[in-house]
Structure 1
Amino acid sequence: MIKNDVITVGLIGLGQMSGGHRKMISEIEHFQMGALCEVNEEILHQIGDEEGVSKEKRFTDMEALIADPDVDAVVSVVPNHLHARVIELCIYYQKPLMAEKPFTLDFNEAENLTALYEKQPIPVMVGFSYRYVASFRYAKKLIAENKIGPIRHIAIRYLQSGGAALFEKPYAWRFNKAVSGTGALGDLGAHMIDSARLFVGEFRAVSALMETFITKRKDPVSGETKTVDVDDFTSFQAVLENNVIGNFVTTRNAVGSGNQHEVTIYGDYGTIHVNCERPNEIDICVRDEKDEEGARPVFKTEIVPDSYRKQQFQDFADLVTGNEQPNTPTFYDGYQNQKVLDRIIQSAETGQTVKVD
């Protein structure tokens, strides 16, 4: 736990995703960017100049940044195969960490990390960013208030279009199992799993199907055609806590979809629907007190109160300073998420339903 008035943050990984993280770090009053790490030195110095980070705090080796005594907390935005190593080093050097999802490359890594973490715990937040969409936060509150009664069924879709044949997306690390672990499942499906855990609870069993639509893609560097060995599409059914049934679909090959992460929660007395592309609206179907007796409820759209807006790095700052907030996604959430991912892969490979615990 850090008591400093100003928390010096070290950022590892300066690729495309890091821009949003840099902006969010700058918005937190007690955070200051104090160190950067990137293997591409040109990018390292370009962003170092933009952020005003001194040259001696620009690293090409992530362990050097994590070990730096001037770094109070670490934010990691690296490819999936490096996630476990970053967490391991932060545990060793006892540095609070904001880690990206999926938690690890595979479940074996997650289990090994848990053994280390239980001996030397540190504050760890996992980047399940949809917990910070205002409509999702408001839906969580309505469910807690029993607005729709006992939940019976949850349906979640996360659809993107960038991988579709139409766009001829070139080969990249996300299409390489050794680097990414999975395709759409880990990239997008991890968020679906987290949303289900947030709204309903733990997974009990899964039955899954995984498919690769485009098996070859051109490497823009070498010009070679390379084999894609991760999924373009994953769907699964699940049984969650209290026998809630879930159905899930994710793909990066849905032409017409932007970043369509949507959740529909069905209860005995009504339904709630949220979509991250409409972050400040929520669709609710419940019987209104003004409705005539016996009238069927219809969906109505509500504007989410401003009080449900929250920047996710505020929760990281609170976690680092020993003031953990409710529903902060921590090490345990990352571990459980990776376990469900593992069971989904097992189910797809065997063609059988797999228990999660």
Structure 2
Amino acid sequence: MIKNRVVKVGLIGLGDMANAHRTMISELDELKLSALCDVNEDLLNKIGDIENVAVEKRFNNMEALISDGEVDAVISIVPNHLHARVLELCIQYQKPILAEKPFTLNFEEAEYLKSLYEKQPIPCMVGFSYRYTPSFRYAKELIQEGKIGKVKHISVRYLQSFGAPIYDVPFLWRFDKAITGTGALGDLGAHMIDLARFMIGEFTSVSAMVDTFVHERKNPVSGEMQKVDVDDYASFLAVLDNSIPGNFVTTRNAIGSGNQHEITVYGDFGTIHASCERPYEIDVCIIEDKEVQSSFETKPVSESYKRQQLEDFADLILGKKQEGTPEFFDGYQNQKILERIIESAESGRTVLID
């Protein structure tokens, strides 16, 4: 365990998402970006120059970075089909890691990693970033304090529009099952699952359907049409702890939705609605003094609910784990639920999680 010194971080994968992590690292005194890895040599050197990373700490091979004795911890931002391999190497070399979601390409990989992890555990955080949205954190606290009474049911949505036919998006890796595993379900649905687990509790069963709206997209290199073999839409009913029912919908074909991730929680005498697009306010409706009717009120969310994701990663590495940090088990359980959703959609029946 690293104590009382700056954690030297190696960043694997330098695509768009890595820019946000580079910024977060720069904001924390506990972390220092000291190594980089990407297969794109030009991008590797460009980012290396910007971040003043030594030339000998710029890698094309992720195992070389992970095994480097001067790298204390790893942040991995790679496509889904590489998630399991990065985690396997970090377990092998006993390197703390922040891994992206979905946890793995499929549940078979998750099961294999679990067998390794139980023998050689490491500090492992999974990138369920919406746990750090202030409005969600505030809503969770109100629910735990019983402000809306006993929770009766929930509704969760994660809607985007970029995949809609009108935008004519070309064939990307996110539309290729061999690389991404699933479509909207794993990309967006994984966040819905984690938000419900974070705020409400464990899933006990699911009943699901998935669909693909755009069956072919143009290959940007060849210009030929290529088959899409992942989902554009997924919806499922679920039962969570204490027999709480929930309905979940996700799609990348919702015109007018940018990044619309939201949850509504209904209790005995109140309702809370929170959205990632409004991180510093929530909508609350609470019946007070046995009044017959009440209306929604928008409440501000204090800056005190703001917490940077990598703060929890640094604390996890330094032996100061914070409550609610998404760890290895959260990733594993999330992947299990994704597997059960697929099983339910394919079989047309309700499936128990365990």
Equivalent residue for 1:354? 351
1:335 lines up with 2:332 in the alignment: yes
Q: Deviations over 1:112-164 (max 9, x none)?
A: 00000000000000000000000000011111101111111010000000000
Cα distance in structure 1, aligned partners of 2:11 and 2:288? 49
Residue aligned with 1:130, SS: helix
- Superimposed CA distance per residue, residues 211-232 of structure 1 (whole angstroms, 9 cap, x where no aligned partner): 0000000111122211000000
Partner of 2:173: 173
Question: What does residue 259 of structure 2 align with?
Answer: 259
Distance of 2:112 and 2:152 partners within structure 1 = 35
Q: What secondary structure is seen at the aligned counterpart in 2 of 1:201?
A: coil
**Structure 1 runs (4+) greater than 2 angstroms displaced:** none
Equivalent positions of 1:25-40 (< 5 A) are 25-40=25-40
Q: TM-score scaled by structure 2?
A: 0.99
SS state at 1:157 partner: strand
Q: Letter of the 2:318 partner, please give it.
A: T
Q: Which residue of 2 aligns with 1:247?
A: 247
Q: CA deviation at 1:72?
A: 0.3
Separation in 1, partners of 2:274, 2:175: 29
Q: CA deviation at 1:294?
A: 2.7
Query: Can you list the C-alpha shifts for 1:147-183, whole angstroms capped at 9, x where unaligned?
Result: 1111110100000000001110010110000100000
Write out per-residue CA displacement over residues 280-310 of structure 1, whole angstroms, 9 at most, x where no aligned residue: 0011110245xxx533121100000111011
Distance (whole Å) between structure 1 residues aligned to residue 220 and residue 137 of structure 2: 41
Distance, in Å, in 2 between the alignment partners of 1:28 and 1:350 is 48
Alignment of 1:179-328 (within 5 A): 179-288=179-288, 293-328=290-325
Distance 1:120 1:162 in 2: 41
The alpha-carbon deviation at position 5 of structure 1 amounts to 1.3
SS of 1:17's equivalent in the other structure is helix
Q: CA separation in 1, counterparts of 2:140 and 2:154?
A: 13
Amino acid paired to 1:47? I
- Whole-Å Cα distance in 1 between the matches of residues 135 and 260 of structure 2? 14
Q: Distance in 1 between matches of 2:341 and 2:149?
A: 29
Q: Distance in 2 between matches of 1:312 and 1:330?
A: 12
Q: Deviations over 1:52-75 (max 9, x none)?
A: 101100000000000000000000
Once the two structures are superposed, what CA deviation does each residue of 1:234-271 show, in whole Å capped at 9, x if it has no partner?
00001111000000000001111000000000111111
Alignment of 1:11-50 (within 5 A): 11-50=11-50
- Corresponding letter in the other structure for 2:149: G
Query: Any residues of structure 2 matched to 1:83-162 within 5 Å, and which?
Result: 83-162=83-162
AA matched with 1:352: R
* One-letter code aligned to 1:248: F
Counterparts of 2:236 and 2:279 in 1: how far apart (Å)?
Answer: 25
Name the CA distance, whole Å, in 2 between partners of 1:179 and 1:271: 39
How many residues end up aligned between the 2 structures?
A: 354
Give me the TM-score of the superposition, normalised by structure 1. Answer: 0.98
Gaps of 5+ in 1: none
After superposition, the C-alpha distances for 1:296-348 in whole angstroms (9 at most, x for unaligned) are 12110000011101101000000000100000000010000000000000001
- Opposite residue 308 of structure 1, the aligned amino acid is Y
The one-letter code sitting in structure 1 at the alignment partner of 2:56 is E
Identity of aligned residues (%): 64
- In structure 2, the gaps of 5 or more residues are none
Q: What is the distance in 1 between the residues matched to 2:120 and 2:294?
A: 52
Per the alignment, in what secondary structure is the counterpart of residue 210 of structure 2?
Answer: strand
Deviation at 1:4, TM superposition (A): 4.3
